[in-house]
Each structure stands twice: as C-alpha cells, then as structure tokens.
Amino acid sequence: MLELGARVKFYKMRADREAIERTGGKAARSEFDSVLDDFSTAREPTIVDVGANTSASLFKVLSDAAGDLSDLGCEFGVCIVLTNEAGALAEAPNLLALAKPWVKARFLIENRFHGSVDPAWLKKATEEAKVSVFAHQSLEDGAEEYLQAGGLAIITKLDPAKLRGKHGIGPAARIRKDLERCRFEAMQAVRPAAEWLVG
C-alpha cells in the first residue's frame, strides 16, 4: 500500500464504545458509510485492506449494499490471507461464504509464516477461490528491521553502499538478496488477485 503513495486513503474502521453507547448502536452501523460512498465514486481499480477483526463486519455491510453498488457499476473481488492459526482457519471459510453472493472473484493467499495449512482442509474450505502461496521467509539477521521500517516498498530503495557500511559486505549482500526474494514472492502470491483487479 505504501507504494501507492497519495492514492492511499485511511478510514477509522471501529466506532469507539462511547459513541456506540451514546447513539444506541447507530455509530457501529454507520462506521463504513464513507467507505461505501468512496466505492460508489471510484473510477479506477481500488484496494481495501482491512484487519482480520474488521473483515466480517465490512463483508456484512457490503452484502447489504451490493445491489446498490452493482447498479452503479461496482464489481468486487475478495483476497483473504490465511495462516494455519486456529482463528484464521475458522474465519476464512466464513468470509468466503459471506462474500460469495456479491463478489466476481475470490482469492486466498496461504501465508506459510507459521507453517503450511493442511492441503485437504484447504481444498475443502476454499471452494472455488483461487489459491496462491506465500512461502515461509527465512531472512538474514538485520533484514526484518527494513521490512518493519518501510514494508516491501523500501526494498527497491535500499542503498547497497549504506548496507555494506552498516552490516559488512557478506551480510549486506544476503540481506538485499533475502529482501528481494521476499518482495518477489509476495508479488507472486498476490498476482492472481492483482491481474483480476486491473484486467
């Protein structure tokens, strides 16, 4: 998202408890209104990135608004990132089912950071979703700090001379190689969804 620069817009996705109680729950119902309004006026492919704890709420709102948004020419695809953690394994099938009536395409990325998801479970739970894999990344010591500082966007901007000065020739070369591989594999994992989005 950092690479999209000024095109990125941030929304507060959770009404605070005080606002919910003060409005008798109305604040929670309307927290996605600005997102829906922006969908209705978007004239180029748009990505919405939400945290795992917000996805189901947004999908329910989109289900209710899908007819109106479809009348305005909006089409939706969904890309869900799945790990082999219990919460993610429970939530992914629910999100895919919620999205099924109103999306044109469903994508799932198996993030193997904590290990692989059982292939039989994956086949059964993901139905017609297009599945891709982001392999577990083994990074040279020191590489993680660059990802934390600037995400994937920083990788192409790293100065080899500064890396060598800070880490030494061998570690700097390994850091750069590991980060470039990580970025490439992340881009490959999202490629099916990205191609659908721009195609």
Q: What is the per-residue pLDDT across 148-160, written as a single tens digit (0 to 9) for each?
A: 888 888 899 999 9
Task: Look at the pTM and tell me if it is higher than 0.75.
Answer: yes
CA dihedral sign, ordered 3, 112, 174, 167? positive
Report, as an integer, the average pLDDT of 31-52.
83
| Model confidence at 107: pLDDT above 90 | yes
Q: Give the position of tokens 């010591």.
A: 141
Identify whether 187 is part of a domain.
yes
- Any domain includes 24: no
Where in the sequence is the domain holding 182, given as residue range(s)?
A: 140-199
Number of domains in the chain: 1
In a domain, 148, yes or no: yes
Q: Is residue 121 part of a domain?
A: no
106, β-bridge pairs: 78
At residue 141, does pLDDT exceed 90?
Answer: yes
Is residue 38 domain-resident?
no
CA distance 187 to 181: 10
Tokens coding 114: 């904590």
Q: In this structure, is residue 185 part of a structural domain?
A: yes
